[in-house]
Amino acid sequence: MDRSLRPGDPSFVGGHRLLVRLGEGGMGVVYLGRTDSGALAAVKVIRAEYALDDDFRTRFRREADAARRVDCPWVVRVTGADPDAARPWLATVFEPGPSLAEAVGRHGPLPVRAVRVLGKALARALAAVHGAGLVHRDVKPGNILLVADGPRLIDFGIARSLDATALTATGLVVGTPGFLAPEQAAGDGDRVGPACDVFSLGCVLAYAATGRPPFGGGPVDALLYRTVHDEPDLDGLAQQDEELAAVLRRCLAKDPAERPAPDELDAALVEDVPSGTVDWLPAAVVRMVADRSAETLSLPEIGATIIEGPVRDRGPSRRGFLAVASGGAAVLALGGGAAAWAALHDGTARHTSAGPGWAIGVQADLSGPGKAAGRAQEQGARIAVEEFNARRGRPFTLHLTTSDDEGRAERAAAAARRLVDDPDVLAVIGSSTDATTQAALPVYDAALLPVLGMSAGQNLVQNVRSFVRGRPLHNVVAMSLGYQLETTGAAAPVGVLLDRSGGDLSWMTIQMVNLVVRQYGDATHPRVVPAGTGDLTPVLTEMRSAGIKAFVYAGPLDGAIRAARGLADFTGPKYAAEPALDARFAAEPAAAGWTVVASAIGPGAAGVRSFAQSFRTRYGRAPGFWAAEGYDAAKLLIGQLGQLVATNGKRPARKALIGPLRKATYHGITRDFAFDQKSAGQPVLTTSASFVHQVMDGEFHYLGPAPDRAPQPRTA
């Protein structure tokens, strides 16, 4: 990665001459700086948009003051800060070493003795942090550096003062999934305290000892669920050191009151802590430490940099050519320069007017495996824009700008950046898949560009301000599937097949269906197939031999087609999760009679018929699934823009739309839109309508809304 300074980066910050970029996150840029005395420092400069937020400055000031009180050799020392600067900054001692995540990722688990040494040092670090009135909240392998004289705990970026008024709302999940305490994973802000850091440290030490997080990996929702409900995976550690395993189990207790305090943990980890050496680390990691230390001796020459004035919303600039992608709680730079210029001008971003204007962006899969859904959303939104532009006396003229992410998470951040760098774009609809939405959100959030998602139903669990989800979560739709099954009186036992190829959505579907069916006293016959399973015949044969009377499949589209073929002569009710809502599934002869419950409404719904006729007139065919949702999304955004113009009499800034969007109410053709503000960082749609579709004659027929509450218990 090119770490050199860029035009627009400052030359000096708070007495530090800046040398190179160390990284970029959602809150700002971290530089390597040198003071007049020659001391090196990591200087975090906060993004300009946060500097305009008085509440943020208040929080930043409290945390900087508290962090200065931390005095411990195992905690990176804060050397300076200025919360009142035009762009607030904070400096810490620069520690040239690899992170624990890098060391374990490259060389595998640490020896047991090294884990004990690491644990004692970090327990003392937490004791100092808590003694200063702070809770770190994000103790993870990436925030622990291994340097020449021992480990260092870094990054107080999301800590908060215990003795100050809490500025973080209850229900907000802050930190890194996989290393969060259960009370953090559950969004229980009232219970977040020092014991959370101890739990996170237990996760870190388990990771260091085994090479894997104690609650596994995978989709965020599943990871948080396991953190709250499952026991940690310490397989192999007990055989090496049962005493250490027992200490970690105490750290990983679900009840915060059962976890040891840091000083108690320090005493329990019986081991001498070498002073000022790396002898406790394996040789391969020691070489990594030495290599990082040597890199500081070959710093680049200090060249002049250009200090730009205030950045105006005036389109693509060299500052703007930075694509970012999500990685846990961090945001890392991926590229810039010529590559970003090429991405910006590859034809995926289109304009219909010259000069500054008003635009709604659509990010979607327009050319990949999910292009039918992505194009449908774009086309529905385009009809809404064209209807608005046809109105007499309209206060402004809109155009639609698209950015194709091809349904690929690795392309999503660049696709988002294209829309962020377009000064016309005031709001975005998208992206059309869970993975691409999650990868794109850090880009939009850093730019405070509002995003309305209509088809991504995963709980993204991020502290994002600019995102509003205009559809129910996958687990809500899955619950409606269970209610539909019970309402129609399907006989038990119900066979439920979880295909892990479908990821988080499949897992949530089976969990909720299993829960609903069993609540009604009916039996289920659950089965799981590994990701990539091509032949479902053996498991389907076994399920049928067990006497199932109904069947639910949760997995990807191709798996649903295979399940339909394998159950072609099964006469009981057959259901599939939302990925099967695709013309390719309906076209499969064996899929006749299958039912799909999904968030997308059907074109046959009474409220959608007028739109469907407009769509046929515009495109010469019936609308596909998600077109009506794209239409509603554009209409909702247009309405909020119109209200801002009516109030202020001028073109609004992007961030001015975020608050009104989160509080918006709108009577759409697919559902009524209103949002609950008490969710974990993201407003939740309160009108959680889902819809039932059944395959007949090679296509889906709309049956109506799915039940959104439990049916009355059946009587004997």
The residues that are catalytic are: 138
DSSP 345-393: TSS-S--SS-SS-EEEEEEE-SSSTTHHHHHHHHHHHHHHHHHHHTSTT
Instruction: For 150-240, list the strands marked E by DSSP.
Output: 150-153, 160-161
- Greatest alpha-carbon pair distance for the chain in Å reads 85
Calpha distance 689→261 (Å, rounded) = 46
Calpha distance 457→433 (Å, rounded) = 8
Q: How many residues does the chain have?
A: 716
Neighbour-count burial of 450, counting CB atoms closer than 10 A to its CB (0-12 exposed, 13-18 middle, 19+ buried): buried
Tokens 């409900």 belong to 229
Is 539:496 a contact under the CB 8 Å cutoff? no
Nearest to 634 by CA among 366, 416, 359: 359
- The DSSP code for 679 is S
Nearest to 183 by CA among 269, 99, 259: 259
Calpha distance 597→703 (Å, rounded) = 10
Instruction: Kindly list the distances between the CA atom of residue 601 and the CA atoms of 254, 606, 609, 687, 703, in Å, as whole numbers in the listed order.
Output: 41, 10, 11, 14, 10
Nearest to 632 by CA among 384, 364, 361, 363: 384
Is 247:227 a contact under the CB 8 Å cutoff? no
Instruction: For 57-207, list the strands marked E by DSSP.
Output: 78-82, 89-93, 134-135, 144-147, 150-153, 160-161
The secondary element (H helix, E strand) that includes residue 123 is: helix 112-131
Tokens 């994000």 belong to 138
Neighbour-count burial of 324, counting CB atoms closer than 10 A to its CB (0-12 exposed, 13-18 middle, 19+ buried): buried
Instruction: Kindly list the distances between the CA atom of residue 361 and the CA atoms of 26, 445, 460, in Å, as whole numbers in the listed order.
Output: 22, 15, 21
DSSP 17-61: EEEEEEEE-SSEEEEEEE-TT--EEEEEEE-HHHHT-HHHHHHHH
How far, in whole angstroms, is CA 54 from its chain's centroid? 26
